[in-house]
Amino acid sequence: MTPTSRTRGAAAWALLSLAVGSFGIGMTEFTVMGLLPDIAQDLLPDVWAISPDRAIADAGWLITLYALGVVIGAPTISGLAARYPRHLVILGLAAALSLFTTLTVVAPTFELVALSRLLAGLPHGAFFGMGALIAADVLGPGKRAKGVAFVLTGLTVANVVGVPLGTFLGQVAGWRAAFAVVAAIFALAAVMLAVFTPRHAGDPSRTFRGELRVFRIGQVWLALAIGAIGFGGFFAVYSYIAPLVTEVSGSPEWTVPLVLVVMGLGMTLGNLLGGYFADRDLRRTLLGGLIALAVVQSLLALTAAWIVPLVLFVFLVGAASSLTSPVIQTRLMDVAGDNQSIAAALNHSALNIGNSMGAFLGGLVIAAGWGFVMPAWVGVALAVAGFGVAVLSFGLERRADALALASSSVSDSPEVVERRELSATGPMRTL
């Protein structure tokens, strides 16, 4: 075996280890959405006996708390861990994911399960941010995007295969069985990362305070808002997909995993298209994706009573939402300057703020008695709002560019150049 082939083999195993971890993250984040009725009936029996709709809405807090964990953990852990060896950090994150998911399995009450979901969300964003840096290291210059994309395939495959299978397992063997499998996947990822992740010395000069400079950039905040608000529209639908299928279209429970497969396929296609079109015109892709998301969610809301159009528009909702995801990531990286590592983690904070917002608002309208279709209309409103933030962001950027160009033109005018030269030679003339 040549040194080159050994190097390539080591890189492949390192990337595969990261992909296994991202597969587990996809399952732990999204499987709960297909099992909300089962979890609500088990952990909130008194509320379920009075109002199943209210119980499901209350169970939606598990989604919200996990998302809040991601929002809190992504910048905090990424900033604190920036100076430490990456192979040790990523191993610790995988182990934490396994431990906290195990707590979800054994926690006896709704309150303790909710706490475990908050804890399980903390390592999520930092895992992807650190994984992006490791992927860049193992593949070398010029191939960072390829490495990151490979790591994220775990998340994509989870939506196509892992989430539907986890939902089916939870329906058949109990929702705790699904999370037990997820905990085992994280444990496997930790073992693989311990064996295959290349050693890294760390950078003691990196500080938490220094990493937080990214928050001084106004366009970073706007990019985060686009992701949080616009992508929140998707989660308003995804969070309550199970009752939408069973209660609104009247389909049997076993169709829910199949609908999730369809949505996962749509997300896979959208992710590929988003990366392709963003390289050609990021602004138009982002704005067009948000408008497309609003349109297809409107069509889903109008046709959800029939299973065939419901499946079609669920596919398109998945595609439109994932079309915007890599675009928002690229936009955030573009405006973050030298703060690339924490920016990568912050992208997941933004998306999970959207997760939290979508789940909360969707549960709110359900609890108000407006039915399981109403979250789709909430999604429409959020997508339109995200479009508005994107228009504002690009408008401010164009204005700043125009002012910079005008300032440059003035500073390079003959009069200014002459004054600059006179100022520079003034002391000489005095002499």
Residue with tokens 């992710």: 271
The full set of domains in the chain, from first to last, is 9-200 (1.20.1250.20), 209-402 (1.20.1250.20)
Please give the pLDDT value at position 387: 94
205-226 average pLDDT score: 82
| Residue 35 neighbours by CB under 8 Å, 6+ apart | 166, 167, 170, 171, 175, 178, 242
Where is average pLDDT lowest: 12-21, 128-137, 200-209, 228-237? 200-209
Smallest Cα–Cα separation from 289: which of 309, 275, 305?
A: 275
State the average pLDDT for the chain: 82
Whether residue 161 has pLDDT greater than 90? no
Give burial (CB, 10 Å; 0-12/13-18/19+) of 403: exposed
6-30 average pLDDT score: 82
269-279 average pLDDT score: 76
Q: What percent of the chain has pLDDT over 70?
A: 87
| Tokens, residue 355 | 């997760």
Whether residue 191 has pLDDT greater than 90? yes
* Contact indicator for 227, 351 with CB cutoff of 8 Å: yes
239-264 average pLDDT score: 86
Q: What percent of the chain has pLDDT over 90?
A: 28
pLDDT category of residue 428 using cuts at 50, 70 and 90: very low
Please give the pLDDT value at position 9: 67
Give the best-scoring range by mean pLDDT among 143-147, 306-310, 426-430.
306-310
Please give the pLDDT value at position 374: 92
**Residue 420 half-sphere exposure, CB side, CA atoms within 13 Å?**
8
Whether residue 394 has pLDDT greater than 60? yes
Compute CA distances 337 → 78, 152, 214, whole Å.
Answer: 17, 23, 8
Question: Quick one: how far is CA 169 from the chain centroid?
Answer: 24
Residue with tokens 């997300």: 267
Where is average pLDDT lowest: 241-250, 353-362, 375-384? 353-362
- Cα(341)–Cα(278) distance, integer angstroms: 21
Segment 281-335, tens digit of pLDDT: 888 989 999 999 999 999 999 999 999 999 999 999 999 988 887 778 778 777 8
Q: What is the 3-state secondary structure (H, E, C) of 111-156?
A: HHHHHHHHHHHHHHHHHHHHHHHHHHHHHCCCCHHHHHHHHHHHHH
| pLDDT: which is higher, 70 or 179 | 179
- Cα(226)–Cα(351) distance, integer angstroms: 9
Question: Quick one: how far is CA 91 from the chain centroid?
Answer: 21
The CA-CA-CA angle for residues 297, 303, 309, to 5°, reads 90
Please give the pLDDT value at position 4: 53
Smallest Cα–Cα separation from 131: which of 16, 26, 228, 208?
A: 16
Please give the pLDDT value at position 323: 82
Give the best-scoring range by mean pLDDT among 6-10, 24-28, 102-106, 338-342.
102-106
- Cα(233)–Cα(236) distance, integer angstroms: 5
| pLDDT: which is higher, 381 or 6 | 381
Please give the pLDDT value at position 313: 93
Please give the pLDDT value at position 82: 76
* Contact indicator for 375, 365 with CB cutoff of 8 Å: yes
Give burial (CB, 10 Å; 0-12/13-18/19+) of 39: buried
Whether residue 419 has pLDDT greater than 60? no
Q: Is the dihedral of CA 9, 12, 13, 14 positive or negative?
A: positive
Long-range contact list for 309-313, CB < 8 A, 24+ apart? 310/244, 310/245, 310/248, 310/249, 310/259, 311/259, 311/262
Please give the pLDDT value at position 148: 62
Q: What is the pTM of this model?
A: 0.72
Whether residue 429 has pLDDT greater than 50? no
Please give the pLDDT value at position 340: 63
Smallest Cα–Cα separation from 354: which of 90, 13, 66?
A: 66
* Contact indicator for 167, 30 with CB cutoff of 8 Å: no
Q: What is the CB neighbour count within 10 angstroms for residue 197?
A: 26
Q: What is the 3-state secondary structure (H, E, C) of 149-196?
A: HHHHHHHHHHHHHHHHHHHHHHHHHCHHHHHHHHHHHHHHHHHHHHHH
